[in-house]
Amino acid sequence: MAEDRPSPWRVEGAPEGGDAQPPQRPPRFRPPGGSAFWLVLLVLFGVNYLVASQVNKGTTRISVPYTVFRAQVENGNVKEISTRGDTIQGVFRAKVHYPTGKNGKSSTHFQTVRPSFGNDGLLNLLLAKKVVVNAHPVDQGPSFISTLLFSFGPTILLVLLFVFLMRRAAGGLGGGLGGIGRSRARRYEPTAQRVTFDDVAGIDEAEEELVEIVDFLRDPGKYRRLGGMIPRGVLLSGPPGTGKTLLARAVAGEANVPFFSLSASEFIEMIVGVGASRVRDLFQQAKQTAPAIIFIDELDAIGRSRAGAVSIGGHDEREQTLNQILTEMDGFDGTEGVIVLAATNRPEILDPALLRPGRFDRRVTVNPPDQEGRRKILEVHTRHVPLGPDVDLDALASSTAGMVGADLKNLVNEAALLAARRGHDRVAQSDFTDALEKVLLGAARRITLSPEERERTAYHESGHALLGMLVPGADPVRKVSIVPRGQALGVTFQAP
């Protein structure tokens, strides 16, 4: 069997110390300790007990003397009684106020105690007044178990929910609450097949700007001998898909140094202060493995200008994270060998403090490639694609004006998929042409047009084609079609 080829990049966990350590299992979850936690838990139990005791009081009964009870029986105001031993509980037909005065209470439910001496004919009196006499025991309230569950059940559920969330945090953050402030940066170690400048094409100007960074990481003594300091930060700006991230990886691959990569949005969490803690942890890891490169993608997520921004208390989580990045970049002494590369699509909204000399000293604009650049990019992406003899990359580069590296990579992939569906052994020029039409114009729709609609569409597209051919300086007409594509019933394709 053929041996598996090694991956171009190996992703490893960021180190804790200077030397690389074998991967370890995250620490087991430990319940939070401290007097504050147990104090809060005790208060929760107390509040639950007080609330439950108030709820479990049930119906309010007034205690009346036996003489008052007997008088109410004689007056026909007793509806029902329940007895257990000498204790009598029951219900008045009308409310009785006892004791008299302001301190008394009014209720239809009562309880009293029958004297244990003598037989005063109470049973006969009750029967005569048609009072319902219950022989079952007096209600003693809920059982001990139900009272216990009702009293402390909500608190127990809260504690269990808290423990469950902490276990989730332990799994997602590498060991409980202690892992919240840990950096989420992914560390890439270049191996035999690393990304180099040979894998980058079409953006020669930006590549030349970064060659000096690679040379410094390879031989820093050459610059330090003359008192030179390498830029602490390089900002890559340009439209999406132009290859900013690929350039950053190529710099790390050429210099053969560790590469820490993460998106700026990964710094931010709900808990205030986590972003700043992750920034400190990231730079500490990079310093321990220096020389190294830190790459922050989509820097505008946290580097937005603070001018005119309103935040509660003046320090929201994003602003704290940005302040920590500024502090860490100021803390470099120029000899640590840690370089920060950042990418953004919107450099105009970044905070001026980020762009001043001493932080992001150098700004590299990655523009969309020209025709020659597009041809070189197509050559890179078709290295492992079997091409037919009729494939003309120069013609494809001419027809793909405005496309960036990501668009051209997608074009090559669509052409390969289309050739596979058609059963071709190699990707032909027609496959590239049809894939380009699909990418630019949309997939063909299988709808039925009436003869009148088809004729109107033909006239309409003929007008586009005639104007494209007759107007001076217009791009040549490459194709005219009345096959519905996307939201259009017909298209006229012009390309340089």
Q: Going from the first residue of the chain to its last (496 residues), give the mean pLDDT of each consecutive group of 10, the final group possibly shorter.
A: 42 41 44 60 70 61 87 89 83 87 84 77 84 68 67 75 66 47 58 72 82 80 78 87 86 82 77 74 84 86 72 62 84 67 88 85 87 90 90 88 89 92 90 86 74 81 80 77 75 71
Residue 379 falls inside a structural domain: yes
Residue 135 falls inside a structural domain: yes
Residue 219 falls inside a structural domain: yes
CATH number at residue 104: 3.30.720.210
Do 205 and 353 fall within a single domain? yes
202: region left, alpha or beta (phi > 0 left; psi from -120 to 50 alpha): left
Residue 192 falls inside a structural domain: no
The two beta strands, 78-84 and 87-98, are antiparallel
Give residue 13's pLDDT: 43
Residue 189 falls inside a structural domain: no
| Rounded Cα distance, 159 and 166, in Å | 11
Do 213 and 355 fall within a single domain? yes
Do 468 and 393 fall within a single domain? no
- Domain extent for 70: 62-139
Give the residue numbers marked as catalytic. 461
Domains identified in the chain, total number: 4
| Rounded Cα distance, 466 and 469, in Å | 5
Give residue 6's pLDDT: 43
Residue 212 falls inside a structural domain: yes
Residue 41 falls inside a structural domain: no
In angstroms and rounded to an integer, the radius of gyration of the C-alpha atoms of the chain is: 41
Do 293 and 360 fall within a single domain? yes
121, 139, 157 - which closes a domain: 139
Give residue 417's pLDDT: 93
Do 273 and 341 fall within a single domain? yes
Do 361 and 375 fall within a single domain? no
CATH number at residue 402: 1.10.8.60
CB neighbours of 27 closer than 8 A, spacing ≥ 6? 170, 175, 176, 178
Do 394 and 328 fall within a single domain? no
Burial class (CB in 10 A: 0-12, 13-18, 19+), 366: buried
Do 280 and 383 fall within a single domain? no
The two beta strands, 87-98 and 259-263, are unpaired
Closest to 27 in 3D by CA, of 203, 166, 164: 166
422, 441, 460 - which closes a domain: 441
| Rounded Cα distance, 211 and 197, in Å | 9
Do 105 and 241 fall within a single domain? no
Do 107 and 93 fall within a single domain? yes
Residue 283 falls inside a structural domain: yes
pTM metric for this prediction: 0.59
CA dihedral 55, 65, 124, 84 (to 10 degrees): 40
CATH number at residue 323: 3.40.50.300
Do 345 and 407 fall within a single domain? no
123, 139, 155 - which closes a domain: 139
Do 256 and 398 fall within a single domain? no
